[in-house]
Amino acid sequence: MKYWIAAAFFAVALPALADGDIKAGAQKAATCLACHGAEGKSAVPLYPNLAGQHAPYLLHALQAYKKGERSGGQAEVMKAFVAGLSDQDMEDLAAYYGSLQP
């Protein structure tokens, strides 16, 4: 029962988490290109593709890096990159990468 309550909450809440501006996100994505590639498609298997990921997922991931809730892999690198991002920056980046075709 608790699972269904949580699922219903996230189904309602997640779409509201990524109200970013795609054009602004494209401009802010310059620092992401080195690892995640042009158009969000990484040429290096170590780094994930961002193109086509769901914007709410991307926003949640960025927020988790900023809060220090993610560890392992390249988390320390990501923490450094997101440290200077505002909430709006993260929403814009999530909207941009979510709008791209995988």
pTM tops 0.85 = no
How far lies 76's CA from each of 4, 7, 25, 37, 90, in Å?
34, 30, 22, 19, 17
**Alpha-carbon gap, residue 39 to 96, rounded angstroms:** 9
Which residue reads 């914007």 in tokens? 55
For residue 14, name the pLDDT band (cuts at 50, 70, 90).
very low
3-state helix, strand and coil shares in percent for the chain, rounded to the nearest 5: 65, 0, 35
Residue 10 is encoded by which pair of tokens?
């996230």
Domains along the chain with CATH numbers: 2-99 (1.10.760.10)
Q: Which pLDDT score is estimated for 12? A: 47
For residue 19, name the pLDDT band (cuts at 50, 70, 90).
confident
> What is 14-57 written as a DSSP string?
GGGG----HHHHHHHGGGGHHHH-GGG--SSTTS---TT--HHH
Is residue 7 predicted with pLDDT exceeding 80? no
Residue 98 is encoded by which pair of tokens?
């979510």
Is residue 87 predicted with pLDDT exceeding 60? yes
